[in-house]
Amino acid sequence: MSKCPYCNFTSTTDLDALPRYLEALPVEMALYRNAFTSFNTVYLGGGTPSLLTAGQIAFILNGVRQNFSIARDSEITLECNPADISPPYLDSLAALGINRLNIGVQSFHRPVLKFLGRRPSMLP
């Protein structure tokens, strides 16, 4: 796993903290439970949430649904790297209610991807 050199977000490539992060998300959601009435959009993005398993995404979405009112016809988006997705993974996401993907394609040219520090594994 790698971090894009142009990324200015606070992030890490060390997944050892992921279990603690997932445990903390519903706790933080509960802190804001009464601050909002309802949502018609859920966006899982920033970084590469497509590195998460479908089970981990389900855990996050369950926390969202338990803590907030989400409209039935909501747009639920997952930001993903093309190299991380496969037909079975996409089927799992659809079963979770994800109905939109934001696919991070900076270029389809291998030299440009290399220059940007992106994973070119999606290209032939």
Domain segments of the chain as ranges: 16-116
- Rounded alpha-carbon distances, angstroms, from residue 97 to 23, 46, 78: 21, 19, 10
Going by the DSSP 8-state scheme, the letter that residue 67 receives in this structure is: H
Q: How far apart are the first and last CA of the chain?
A: 20
Q: Report how far residue 70's alpha carbon sits from residue 96's, in angstroms, rounded to the nearest whole number.
A: 14
The pLDDT tens digits for 76-124 are 999 988 778 899 999 999 999 999 999 876 667 778 777 777 665 554 5
The pLDDT tens digits for 14-29 are 789 899 999 999 999 9
Q: pTM for the whole thing?
A: 0.82
Is domain 16-116 annotated with CATH 3.40.50?
Answer: yes
Q: Residues near 2 by Cβ (< 8 Å), separated by ≥ 6?
A: 13, 117, 119
